[in-house]
Amino acid sequence: MSVLVLMRDAGDELSLQALAFARSLGQATGADAEPTAFTIDGPYAPASWGQTVADLVTARSPRAVIAPGTERGNEVMAHAAAILDEPLSANTTAFTPGDPPTVTRVRWGGSLLEQALLRGGTLLITVAPHAVGAAPAGVTPEVVPASHHALALAPTERVGASSGGVTLEEASVVVSGGRGVGSAEGFAVVEELAGLLGGAVGCSRAVTSAGWRPHTDQVGQTGTKVAPEIYIACGISGATQHMAGCKGAKKLLAINSDGEASIFAHADYGVIGDVHAVLPAISAEIRKVRGA
Ligand SMILES: Cc1cc2nc3c(=O)[nH]c(=O)nc-3n(C[C@H](O)[C@H](O)[C@H](O)COP(=O)(O)OP(=O)(O)OC[C@H]3O[C@@H](n4cnc5c(N)ncnc54)[C@H](O)[C@@H]3O)c2cc1C
């Protein structure tokens, strides 16, 4: 039996992680060696895309359908699961074959890993971002036209995120500001450093609550989970709910004026100081080193 993988596009990092997950699931369950990757072509509408996945399942009877555990991946797969009357394991980190198989999935904003039995004719699974390494790029996904059966909800307008092209989820550098940045205008120093490093801007909930940045920039339990090479936390105290979003970072640099701030307990590198003095100094040094 086959395994299908819903991809955003051929080079998308989180889709390649879903592909790697699908390959190991395929090997573990004795399904066809190579999963069939596909993308959906058509305007995004969750019910329509969910119907497309459900139609594919009905037509091909795969053992499993795997998708990235992004907001969109989870939404589409939830619709497909409802149409097919199958269970969905969302934000899955591991799969153990068995009858029924066991899945491990992330719950409560990353503070809990739960094991569950997945009893389904077709296993519907989304993969938690960065739970597994990405498969090498090089697949050509099959393009499946979106079903037009169910356009109950279709977005009419999309307002772009403010991170300058690099998405928070996939950025290799994230410069994140907290209440200590002081104001919306104060984020200029955060944006400057992120721009120099080709990174994305993140923030804490204190910042989104104050209306200084949009919710799309929020890192944490109720925001985006990031896994950059380095996370630079500026004026962020280190609350558990914030750390739930950045614990996947390989290195953490904390800049905080309070040497007792709990963020320093999680940090690989720390600077005790005012963000409005430290960040411009780092940016100036980077420009100097680059000769710009
Ligand atoms: C259910 C629930 C879900 C939540 N989800 C999230 C979430 O997804 N993400 C999230 O971030 N939070 C979340 N929170 C909120 C979280 O508990 C904290 O309140 C929040 O993270 C605090 O943000 P902060 O660190 O920016 O602010 P604060 O805790 O106020 O910390 C500000 C820090 O800035 C430092 N500082 C002040 N001035 C300067 C300066 N000039 N230079 C340098 N440092 C300075 C201070 O020393 C302090 O450490 C959630 C809370 C709940 C209850």
Contact (CB, 8 A) for 122 and 10: no
* pLDDT for 52: 96
Determine the distance separating the centroid of ligand 1 and the alpha carbon of 240, expressed in angstroms: 9
Q: What is the mean pLDDT of residues 133-158?
A: 80
Question: For the structural domain made of 173-290, what CATH number should be given?
Answer: 3.40.50.1220
- CA 10-11-13 angle, to 5 degrees, is 120
pLDDT interval class at 170 (50, 70, 90): confident
**Residue-wise burial string across 141-150, b where 16 or more C-beta atoms lie within 10 A, e elsewhere:** beebebbeeb
pLDDT interval class at 32 (50, 70, 90): low
CB atoms within 10 A of CB 116: 15
Structure token pair of residue 254: 């904390």
Structure token pair of residue 101: 């198989």
Alpha-carbon distance of 128 to 17, in angstroms, equals 9
Determine the distance separating the centroid of ligand 1 and the alpha carbon of 123, expressed in angstroms: 39
State the span(s) of the chain assigned CATH 3.40.50.620. Answer: 3-145
Starting from the edge strand earliest in sequence, which strands make up the sheet with 173-177, in order?
200-203, 173-177, 230-234, 251-256, 269-272
Residue pLDDT, tens place only, 43-77: 888 889 999 999 999 999 999 999 999 989 999 99
Please work out whether the CB of residue 245 comes within 6 Å of at least one atom of ligand 1: yes
Cis peptide before 100 (omega within 30 of 0): yes
pLDDT interval class at 42 (50, 70, 90): confident
pLDDT interval class at 262 (50, 70, 90): very high
Contact (CB, 8 A) for 104 and 115: yes
Please work out whether the CB of residue 179 comes within 6 Å of at least one atom of ligand 1: yes
State the span(s) of the chain assigned CATH 3.40.50.1220. Answer: 173-290
Q: Is 187 exposed, middle or buried (0-12, 13-18, 19+ CB in 10 A)?
A: buried
Q: CA 63: distance to chain centroid?
A: 25
CB atoms within 10 A of CB 50: 23
Please work out whether the CB of residue 262 comes within 6 Å of at least one atom of ligand 1: no
Atom of ligand 1 nearest to the CA of 109: 8
> Which CATH number does the domain 3-145 belong to among 1.20.200.10, 3.90.1150.10, 3.40.50.620, 3.30.420.140?
3.40.50.620
Atom of ligand 1 nearest to the CA of 220: 8
* pLDDT for 191: 95
Residue 163, pLDDT > 80, answer no
Residue 133 is classified by DSSP as P
Residue 259, pLDDT > 90, answer yes
- CA 110-54-48 angle, to 5 degrees, is 85
Atom of ligand 1 nearest to the CA of 240: 17
Atom of ligand 1 nearest to the CA of 275: 42
Please work out whether the CB of residue 206 comes within 6 Å of at least one atom of ligand 1: yes
Residue 160, pLDDT > 80, answer no
Q: Ligand 1: which of 222, 224, 264, 272 to mutate, most ligand atoms within 8 Å of CB?
A: 222
* pLDDT for 107: 79
Q: What is the mean pLDDT of residues 104-126?
A: 86
Residue 213, pLDDT > 60, answer yes
Atom of ligand 1 nearest to the CA of 236: 25
Q: Is 284 helix (H, G, I), strand (E, B) or coil?
A: helix
Structure token pair of residue 288: 């100097």
